[in-house]
Amino acid sequence: MPKVLPGAYNTFIPNARSSGNLFVDFSRNINDFACLRYCQPVPVQQTVGLWYQMGLDERARLTDNDAAKFLWADGTPRPNTQDSDEYFEEKSYRCERRSYTSTLGKMASEQAAWDELDRRCRMLAQQAMTVRTNAIVSRMTTASEYSTDHVADLSVAGVIPGVTGNWAASTSARLAIRRTLNHIKNTITLATRAAVNSDDLVMVMSPDTAEQIAVSQEIVELLKQNIGGLKYLRADEEFPKESYGLPQRLYNTEVIIEKTVKVTSQKGLLAQSAQYVLPVGTIVVCHKPEALEGVEGGRSFSTCSIHIYRDDDLTVETDEVRWDRLTNVAVTDNFDVNRSAPITGFLLQNVC
């Protein structure tokens, strides 16, 4: 530094006190991740185990011969039918452990104007939840995970009866959104033998998908005729800000906006690319978990479940290496994503 005369900008050591120790950090609260609302977490005692998928046909079977088969006349032995049983399928899960780590120097920790250890813990926790969400979404958006009648590509005309185009281009006359949702509800009701109510279904989409659907003529025309139009413009009450202009329930189906973002560029590149984990134009309609947390061995209609080993459920650990004056920080996660009840879900592609 060259010799200078004392002045307003060089007689003190720059620090953060003048800004009130302001620092900008965008770490996301793990409870804000939407995957907890459409994929049921199931704590498990072992990293490898079995679960069972029960059949549904027998409980709803009624053939032409059944009416006579079940009759029991007075004075006769009770009918003893031997064919009233149901198939089941054995499934398995295998949790895989993941570790997200960072190393913090002693001087960096002591001299930082903020809690650097806390910042790194939050950063690693968000990274772990992003990986979780991406694994869930990848499983739920794979067409091969569904039977063919539970997948519809709206770029194909007539794939759903009465629907001639995608949702973004729908009008109040075409009603593509309503027709599609009614078709999905009927399909799931039939597939589950009416065990699942349409009220229990949720619709998961990305923000950019919601944005295009919200300005479709079908939605706009319906809102124009609604006395709550001012609430829509202000984005309050029935139209929360996080729904991007869509109501909380659309045709009696809860709307969930999956806004988790993943950075797809390698570290160090000048330009960084980011995108939503749920692709634009893809919507998953699935069964809403009955409880925030599933019970191992319990019954579940959840379309997708995440089995989490109980001792490694986003566990935060620190290890101080005194000799090296370092602190190692780690977040451990151990899970497996499974399609627990595929027939309660429906995959929509190219809705916009």
In the 3-class helix/strand/coil scheme, how is the chain assigned residue by residue?
Answer: CCCCCCCCCCCCCCCCHHHCCCCCCCCCCHHHCHHHHCCEEEEECCCEEEEEEECCCHHHCCCCCHHHHCCCCCCCCCCCCCCCCCCEEEEEEECEEEEEEEEEEHHHHHHCCCCHHHHHHHHHHHHHHHHHHHHHHHHHCCHHHCCHHHEEECCCCCCCCCCCCCCCCCCCCCCHHHHHHHHHHHHHHHHCCCCCCHHHEEEEECHHHHHHHHCCHHHHHHHHCCCCHHHHHHCCCCCCHHHCCCCCEECCEEEEECCCEEECCCCCCCCCCEEECCCCCCEEEEECCCCCCCCCCCCCCCCCEEEEEHHHCCEEEEEEECCCCEEEEEEEEEEEEECCCHHHCEEEECCC
- pLDDT of the chain, 352 residues: tens digit per residue: 566 655 555 544 555 554 444 444 445 566 778 898 899 899 999 999 987 777 777 777 777 666 677 788 888 988 877 777 777 788 889 999 999 999 999 998 888 878 888 889 999 999 999 999 999 999 999 999 999 999 999 999 889 999 988 999 999 999 999 999 999 999 999 998 888 888 889 999 999 999 999 999 998 887 777 666 656 655 566 555 667 878 888 898 999 999 999 999 988 888 889 999 999 999 999 998 765 555 555 557 889 999 999 889 999 999 999 999 999 999 999 999 998 888 999 999 999 9
> Domain 28-54+87-349: which topology?
phage-related protein like fold (3.90.1690)
Q: Cα–Cα distance between 316 and 318 in angstroms, integer?
A: 7
Look up the pTM and report it.
0.84
